[in-house]
Amino acid sequence: MSTKSGPLSDLTIIDCTMALAGPFGTALLADLGANIIKVEPPYGDGSRPVPPLPPDYANVADEQQAGVDYGGYFASINRNKRSIVLDFKQEADREILLRLCEQADAIVENMRVGVMDKLGLGYETIAERNPQIVYGAIRGFGDPRTGESPYAHWPAFDIVAQSMSGHVNITGPDDALGFPSGVSVGDIYPGTLMALGVVAAIHNARTTGVGQFCDVGMYDSMLAFTETVVANYGFEGKQLPSRGQHHPNLMPFGLFPASDGAVAIAAPGNAHWETLCQIMQRPDLIDDTRTKNTFVRRKNQDFVETQISTWTKQQTRQEIVAQLGGKVPCGPVNTAEDIFNDPHVRAREMITEFELPGDNPKASIVGTPIKYTKTPAGFRRPPPRLGEHTDEILEEFGIAEGTPES
Question: pLDDT of 175-232, one tens digit each?
Answer: 778 899 999 999 999 999 999 999 999 999 999 999 999 999 999 999 999 999 999 8
Indicate the burial class of 237 (C-beta count within 10 angstroms; 0-12, 13-18, 19 or more): exposed
- Domain 12-224+348-396 in CATH 3.40.50.720? The answer is no
Are 275 and 207 a contacting pair, CB within 8 Å? no
Q: What is the pTM of this model?
A: 0.91
| Among 15, 31, 143, 187, the one annotated catalytic | 187
Contacts of residue 322, Cβ cutoff 8 Å, sequence gap at least 6? none
CATH top-level class of 253-334? alpha beta
Is residue 187 part of the annotated active site? The answer reads yes
DSSP reduced 3-state for 31: helix
* Each residue's pLDDT tens digit, 81-111: 999 999 999 999 999 999 999 999 999 999 9
Nearest to 84 by CA among 123, 129, 35: 35
Q: Is 391 helix (H, G, I), strand (E, B) or coil?
A: helix
The SS3 assignment for 23 reads helix
pLDDT per residue as tens digits for the range 19-77: 999 999 999 999 999 999 999 999 999 999 999 999 888 776 665 556 789 999 999 99
Give span(s): CATH 3.40.50.10540, the chain: 12-224+348-396
The pair phi, psi for residue 2, each rounded to 5°, is: -95, -15
Domain with CATH 3.30.1540.10 in the chain: 253-334
Nearest-angstrom CA–CA distance, 364 and 350: 10
DSSP code per residue over 132-197: T-EEEEEESS--TTT---TTTT----HHHHHHHTTTGGGSS-TTSS----SS-HHHHHHHHHHHHH
Angstrom distances, CA of residue 357 to CA of 67, 70, 169? 6, 10, 43
